[in-house]
A = this chain, B = another copy of it.
């Protein structure tokens, strides 16, 4: 039986996950549940609390010594608040750290979800001990994180830079971030679904008609990537366009950061095969100004678990450093 555990929480726009870890980083128990953000922050925080209690109990540990939370941002790690009405509707300035301290009376950390996913890959995944690790999470949106010597790179006042919303094409679609043609608006899971819906009527032979039951609104990114892999003409065309834009954003990351490794994760990146031609093309194109071909570009290893691992790591690092008992 393990004496002490920490819990890592990964709060996304759709699902909240919690995992219990011992000091060596072995995952002892894990659970997930829909967050149903629109039902309000209080209901969501209760769910999160319940999940933490559940995995703590299931780990059979004597005591919980800390909780790390990674949340879909913007988050404020210093004030301990989530302010993300964009992908967590109604979640404005939610004091998640205060709530959890009150509930568990242990140290709590709060970080951006892209940062903890990257940390997870640094700690136990594809990027172990990589000095300059850049992580791109391609799911509903696009998240980015830079890990330097195992530490999260932070911006002014501890803020999280948001490379997913950097501009790629001024003629692109509008985004909630305020720009037209940011990376997320052009190359995210949301963009994949939007493109397929908009062009469905031009492809009467597409399998997406059948798969969506003729209801455009049911088309999602998963449906499109599956169809593309089977040679569907609409899905293939959509993925050609999206992966091209993904490659342009990747080129910018390479030019601006030139890291040792770029880790590609997130639900849409399960279909990394569909992106490889564009990625290869990108690297060749920009190998002039920076040594792009020397950068390792690899898929993430921990999948959906990366966020929990990384969130737990933010606490375990302090634990191992003796800051906690």
Residues of A within 8 A of B (CB): 74, 132, 144, 148, 155-157, 159-163, 165-171, 176-179, 248, 251-253, 255-260, 285-291, 294-295
With A156-B258, A248-B170, A251-B167: A162-B294 Cβ-Cβ less than 8 Å: no
Question: Are A156 and B291 closer than 8 Å at their CB atoms?
Answer: yes
- Nearest B residue to A289 via CB reads B162
Q: Are B161 and A290 in contact (CB under 8 A)?
A: yes
- Copies of the protein in its oligomer: 2
Q: Tell me if A's interface is mostly helix, strand, loop or mixed.
A: loop
Residues in B neighbouring A255, C-beta threshold 8 A: 161-163, 165-167
Name the distance in Å between A244's Cβ and chain B's nearest Cβ.
9
For this complex, 13 residue pairs linking A to B, each with C-beta atoms less than 8 Å apart, are A148-B148, A155-B260, A156-B258, A159-B258, A159-B294, A161-B258, A161-B290, A165-B286, A167-B248, A167-B252, A167-B255, A169-B169, A179-B285
Question: How many Å from the CB of A144 to the closest CB on chain B?
Answer: 8
- Docked pose: A169 CA to B171 CA in angstroms: 8
Query: Which one, B161, B167, B285, contacts A257 given CB within 8 A?
Result: B161
* Complex Cα–Cα for A54 and B165 (A): 50
The docked-state distance in angstroms from the alpha carbon of A178 to that of B178 is: 29
Complex Cα gap A287–B156 (Å): 13
Pairs A-B, 4 closest by C-beta atoms: A155-B258, A161-B258, A162-B289, A166-B252
Q: Are A155 and B248 in contact (CB under 8 A)?
A: no
The answer to whether A166 touches B256 (Cβ under 8 A) is: yes
With A and B bound together, what is the CA distance between A253 and B144 in angstroms?
14
Cα–Cα distance between A257 and B289 once the two chains are bound (Å): 20
